[in-house]
Amino acid sequence: MKYRELLDMIEEGENMQCEFKREFSSSEKIARGMIAFANTKGGFMLFGVDDDKKVVGVESEKETAELVNDVAKNLCEPALDVNIDYREVNGKEIVIVNIPESEYKPHRLQDYKSELDINSAIVTIRVNDKSVQASKEMIRILRVQTNQTALKKYVLGPVEKSVFEYLNKTEKISVKELSNLVNISERRASRTLVKMVRANLLMIHTKDNGEEFFTAAM
């Protein structure tokens, strides 16, 4: 990363694709943040920068890089490929960690299980300037993105038609709202909405608190 690009990134502040870390805190917290970037659009973690954009530097860039590499390899499943760079700003060393968007979503916090358990896996995504827990619906959609299994031929039934009628009035719908609307289980409502996303009929959105809702695709 060029020096000017780094200064611009710091000045812009934390956002969808940038997070500041004053220092390497807990390994699990760093892992959650890195996983969120990999599961979303990728991004940068800047170590040695405070939340208020103040450059404080790291005590040891080598130690910070080693800790980051250990987290990426051992606390993320599948392991993450990250790129680490160093830059000096005002005489203080910053460690720049670039986490690309992954081709192997969804990544999860290491749980030492042979397969992803959708009921217990800790999967995070990036929402604005935060890393939040992904819902079961989002995890299923991340799987679809990796496997490229979009539904090209999807027949609309009465439930799907009810979804569109509801959206015409309210513009958005949640799993619980669909469940109540047509008197089906939340599990069935969830699967229906996910299939509609896969068919490019709906889009899924996540709030800062992790709550999700669906809107008609543009």
CATH code (residue 158): 1.10.10.10
**39 in a structural domain:** yes
**85 in a structural domain:** yes
Q: What is the pLDDT of residue 25?
A: 85
Give the pLDDT confidence of 91-122 residue by residue, as tens digits: 999 999 999 999 999 999 999 999 999 999 99
State whether 109 and 154 are in the same domain.
Answer: no
**139 in a structural domain:** no
State whether 109 and 19 are in the same domain.
Answer: yes
State whether 93 and 150 are in the same domain.
Answer: no
Last residue of some domain: 106, 133, 160? 133
**211 in a structural domain:** yes
Residue closest to 92 by CA, chosen among 216, 160, 7, 177: 7
- Find the mean pLDDT for residues 78-84: 96
Burial class of residue 204, CB neighbours in 10 A (0-12, 13-18, 19+): middle
Q: List, in sequence order, every residue forming a beta bridge with 203; answer none if it has no partner.
A: 215
CA-based Rg of the chain, rounded to a whole angstrom? 20
Give me the domain span that covers residue 161.
144-216
- Find the mean pLDDT for residues 43-61: 95
Last residue of some domain: 78, 111, 133? 133
Here the CATH number for the domain that contains residue 45 is 3.30.950.30
Last residue of some domain: 82, 98, 133? 133
Q: Report the number of distinct structural domains present in the chain.
A: 2
Distance CA 49, CA 56 (A): 6
| pLDDT for 158 beyond 90 | yes
State whether 54 and 77 are in the same domain.
Answer: yes
**138 in a structural domain:** no
Backbone angles phi, psi at 197, to 5 degrees: -65, -45
